[in-house]
Structure 1
Amino acid sequence: MDDIARLAEVLEQSRSMVFFGGAGMSTESGIPDFRSAEGIYHQKLHRHFSPEEMVSHSFFVEHTEDFYDFYREHLLYPKAQPNDGHRTLAELERMGKLTAVITQNVDGLHQLAGSKNVLELHGSVKRNFCMDCQAAYEMEHVAAGKGVPRCTRCGGIVKPDVVLYEEPLDSQVMEKAVQAIRSADTLLIGGTSLVVYPAAGLIKYFQGQNLVLINKSETKADEWADLVIHDAIGKVLKAAMDMLAARS
């Protein structure tokens, strides 16, 4: 049995699957990942600061205008659309097989594809708020124009609802993620290098039957997985789903 057929069998048998994904989930939607050889952290985008430093809390505070210049150019992709991977996960949820999507991404593509129970560990570019009066703003308010986006009510800085480096993850979201993984019979991990903590540590809570890893490159968890596929996740999930549909 080849890997796609094995994955289709896992999808067919699962009743409480959880998906945990990272930047590689959205590369097939035209959003570059962060840590691959071509990823954003390997690009020389600024003379004095690394991309990782430019999405830190301290850089946001000390170089606010430069932060927004970088943010608009490299983290906002308003025209991006869900790919086969996002759509397959949404269909698995509709079928009653997938109970939760846990994502490190901030692009909102899982919801756009139709997924309902999405736990966003690092927040979302779709949500923005005034740091002074807490007024809410759409992504377009930040994407449009130049310089530091301001609140139309009080003039405060409008900040994206994303978790920057040096900022803590939302404890309630993390707790929901832990509970979802503890209750899962299958943990499907895709498009993540599993190097960003504390998110990467979630795998230790899995107690189910099937640990499946789909990623273009190797990860430190490959040796623990029941099934490892090194390929594009959208392509793999669609192929397995098509095989599953053909059986029914």
Structure 2
Amino acid sequence: MNLVVLTGAGVSAESGIPTFRGKEGLWKNFKPEELATPEAFRKNPKLVWEWYDWRRQLISKAQPNKAHKLLAQIDAVIITQNVDGLHQRAGAKKVIELHGNIWRVRCTSCGKEYENYEVPLREIPPKCKFCNGLLRPAVVWFGESLPMDALEEAERLAKSCEVFLVVGTSGVVYPAGLLPFVAKQHGAKVVEINPESTPISEIADIVIREKATVGVEKFIQTMLNL
């Protein structure tokens, strides 16, 4: 079976990482425009980095859950909207990160990008190890375009797969939210795992109304019958 998986914040929620739009979402006490935009970073890089430092500390304590581990064991490419790196820590070999990775930094001066696992950060905002320029998180902020190579590969996979599994995503963040529709238009069966209804539910061939850990296990148990 040619299977492609799209994951969102819901797959990491059971690892203790808050979702962005749930009742305990990361935006509950903060405004996105104050923290996750290029404009916010230009205005106050220290504030933005203090928030990202808090997030990095939270994520560093999290462990891949059963959903991450099960998805890592099946032969599928994982397209993720998450920036936490938990799919890779669970052992997944084929991961396309649409929104970047919180454990990577990019220099605003020399443009070099590299991994940084320092928790907590010794200096806020951190400086580039190559040129001492100002670093930013290597993630996609609101108002920024997705990395073209990752998006093109995700679209190619959506068009060519037999089954497109969607786990724990609200389906309202674009262009990632369009991928299940692209897959459906090209003949794939769409399976959604989410405890709540989303725009994807309307086109899904199978809907599993469970949290990610339970839903992924149920999917794997039945996938041979798809």
**TM-score normalised over the length of structure 2:** 0.90
Match of 2:208 in 1: 229
Trace 1:62-81 onto structure 2 (pairs within 5 A): 62-74=43-55, 76=57, 77-81=59-63
When the two structures are aligned, how many residues end up with a matched partner? 221
Q: Which runs of 5+ in 1 are unaligned?
A: 1-14
For residue 146 of structure 2, the aligned residue among 152, 169, 177 is 169
Q: Specify the structure having the higher radius of gyration (Cα).
A: 1
For residue 107 of structure 1, the aligned residue among 78, 84, 87 is 84
Trace 1:83-122 onto structure 2 (pairs within 5 A): 83-93=65-75, 98=76, 100-122=77-99
Report the 3-state secondary structure (helix = DSSP H, G, I; strand = E; otherwise coil) of the residue aligned with 1:234: helix
Question: Residue 158 of structure 2 contacts residue 182 of structure 2 at CA under 8 Å; is this kept in 1?
Answer: yes
Between stretches 232-241 and 208-217, larger displacement belongs to: 232-241
Shift in CA distance, 157/142, structure 1 to aligned 2, threshold 3 Å: farther
C-alpha RMSD over aligned residues? 2.1
Q: Percent identity?
A: 38
For residue 30 of structure 1, the aligned residue among 12, 16, 21 is 16
**TM-score normalised over the length of structure 1:** 0.82
* C-alpha distance in structure 2 between counterparts of 1:196 and 1:22, whole Å: 10
Match of 2:3 in 1: 17
Question: What amino acid does structure 2 have at the position aligned with 1:67?
Answer: V
Q: Which runs of structure 1 show a deviation greater than 6 angstroms over 4 or more consecutive aligned residues? A: none
* C-alpha distance in structure 2 between counterparts of 1:142 and 1:168, whole Å: 28
* C-alpha distance in structure 2 between counterparts of 1:110 and 1:52, whole Å: 28
Match of 2:116 in 1: 139
Question: Residue 18 of structure 2 contacts residue 26 of structure 2 at CA under 8 Å; is this kept in 1?
Answer: yes
Match of 1:238 in 2: 217
* C-alpha distance in structure 1 between counterparts of 2:68 and 2:37, whole Å: 28
Q: Which runs of 5+ in 2 are unaligned?
A: none
Shift in CA distance, 52/200, structure 1 to aligned 2, threshold 3 Å: farther
Residue 193 of structure 1 deviates from its aligned partner by 0.5
